[in-house]
Amino acid sequence: MNTAFRAFIVPARRRSALWRLVLGIVVMVVVILAWGAAQIGAVYLWGGRTGAREALAGMVEPEAPGGTILLLATFIGMAVAPVVAARLLHGRGLGSLVGPWARAARHFGWAVSLVGVVYLISIGVTGLGNPPEPNLTPGVWVRLLPLALVLVLIQTGAEELIFRGYLLQQLAARFPWRIVWLVLPALVFGALHYDPATAGDNAPMIVGSAAAFGLVAADLTARTGSLGAAWGLHFANNVAALLIVATKGTITGLALYVTPYAADDVEATGALIAADALVLVAIWAILRWRLRS
């Protein structure tokens, strides 16, 4: 355990009893559900029963901008949840979950820049394969882009605060074994991506891919002592997957293009997942080598 990571988990050591972690998870679930209920309530007050029903349908199948915006807005509650749990159960705030702000911002920028460069190189070397299909018109996409970027920033930040912030820190404060604080949250993160209704036979591969991402993000957090690199990697990856070229049949409402194949296409999606895994390993290796606390 390096010096930066030891400093990162110091705030979690002060109140590291397991019952606090368990109760913290309960608090997070309550906050997330309460925020979701508040969203639906606000839609109901605005558009009545029909509006609420249409909003729910749009969130379940987020193929239009409105439904996708509402879906991504649910992550506001997820972002608030670990902050509330950390404050109530452990007496610490947002800064303790993120790590040193200057370092986090610097590493966030490095990760976003590197992902952009690697993706451009990979496209230049391999081409686009099956050309993507137009989705939103460029004018509509540009108008929605500022809001979309903010929502993706919140969405990825929320997941990092929970999995690489709160859970990783509290487990590391209690257990010295990497299999507990590094692997366990990554496996949970992967399992939450299990969606056989959308991905069909590809669902286990997507779970494995998400778990691998969780391992990479956790390792970068342990390496740097902040969420910056993991958050930047997550943000850049989701901007590409949600706002530029989204997989058909998934969250496509804010994407400029969609793939010509759906998420349950075993041949096309399976090959893409394998290629993405190689790119992820390359990005992880470069970031791990380059970034220091």
Contact by Cβ (8 Å): 109, 231: no
pLDDT band at 201 (very low <50, low <70, confident <90, very high): confident
Residue 2 is predicted with a pLDDT of 85
The tokens for 249 are: 């049949």
Nearby residues of 284 by Cβ (< 8 Å), 6 or more positions away: 216, 219, 220
Count of alpha carbons within 13 angstroms of residue 211, beta-carbon side: 14
Pick the residue with more confidence: 47 or 72? 72
Comparing 6-20, 59-73, 142-156, 213-227, the range with the smallest average pLDDT is 59-73
Helix (H) or strand (E) holding 66: helix 65-73
Residue 46 is predicted with a pLDDT of 80
Residue 127 is predicted with a pLDDT of 54
Can you give the residue ranges of every domain in the chain? 3-290
* CA 90 centroid distance within chain: 24
pLDDT band at 19 (very low <50, low <70, confident <90, very high): very high
Residue 49 is predicted with a pLDDT of 78
Mean pLDDT of 71-86: 97
Helix (H) or strand (E) holding 247: strand 245-248
Q: Inform me whether the pLDDT recorded for 128 exceeds 70.
A: no
What mean pLDDT is reported for the chain? 91
Contact by Cβ (8 Å): 186, 194: no
pLDDT band at 138 (very low <50, low <70, confident <90, very high): very high
Contact by Cβ (8 Å): 12, 170: yes
Q: How many angstroms separate the CA atoms of 247 and 268, rounded? A: 11
Mean pLDDT of 139-166: 97
Mean pLDDT of 250-272: 85
Mean pLDDT of 26-48: 91
Mean pLDDT of 50-77: 87
Comparing 2-11, 76-85, 204-213, 269-278, the range with the smallest average pLDDT is 269-278
This prediction's pTM: 0.93
pLDDT band at 262 (very low <50, low <70, confident <90, very high): confident
Q: Inform me whether the pLDDT recorded for 244 exceeds 60.
A: yes
Q: Inform me whether the pLDDT recorded for 23 exceeds 80.
A: yes
Residue 283 is predicted with a pLDDT of 93
Q: Inform me whether the pLDDT recorded for 215 exceeds 90.
A: yes
Q: Inform me whether the pLDDT recorded for 293 exceeds 60.
A: no
Q: How many angstroms separate the CA atoms of 149 and 237, rounded? A: 12
pLDDT band at 126 (very low <50, low <70, confident <90, very high): low
Pick the residue with more confidence: 46 or 126? 46
